[in-house]
Amino acid sequence: MTTRATITASQLRTIARGYVAEGSVRGSCGHAHRTIRGAFDCAAKDQRAVKRGNPGGGSYSDREVARADGMAMSEDEIREWQRVNDSRP
């Protein structure tokens, strides 16, 4: 069986450029994550790295998942982000 997914041009651009973990203080991770989950995990890793470098300190990473093209996330993307967020400790 063949399933043909129909996607919009804007979705295609997002898939092509993907997602980044980005914050105004920490900047962008510089990756092109294909999925929100990938960018989410990348942000979490940065969070841990900052904590390790400053144990007991108040510093943290402000990186959050963002679209690489700089556009606001769609409702679907926000829902996906919430799903990922809920499934992580």
Interaction site with Zn ion (CB under 5 A): 21, 29, 31, 42
Instruction: Quote helix, strand, coil % in the chain, to nearest 5.
Output: 45, 15, 40
Q: Which is nearer to Zn ion, 13 or 45 (CB)?
A: 45
Q: Which is nearer to Zn ion, 34 or 51 (CB)?
A: 34
Smallest distance, Zn ion to C-beta of residue 57, A: 23
Instruction: Give the C-alpha distances (Å, rounded to integers) separating 28 from 20, 21, 43, 50, 52.
Output: 7, 6, 10, 14, 19
Smallest distance, Zn ion to C-beta of residue 53, A: 18
Helices (H) and strands (E) in the chain, counts: 3, 3
User: Cα(24)–Cα(5) distance, rounded to whole angstroms?
Assistant: 35
Smallest distance, Zn ion to C-beta of residue 47, A: 12
Q: Which is nearer to Zn ion, 7 or 71 (CB)?
A: 71
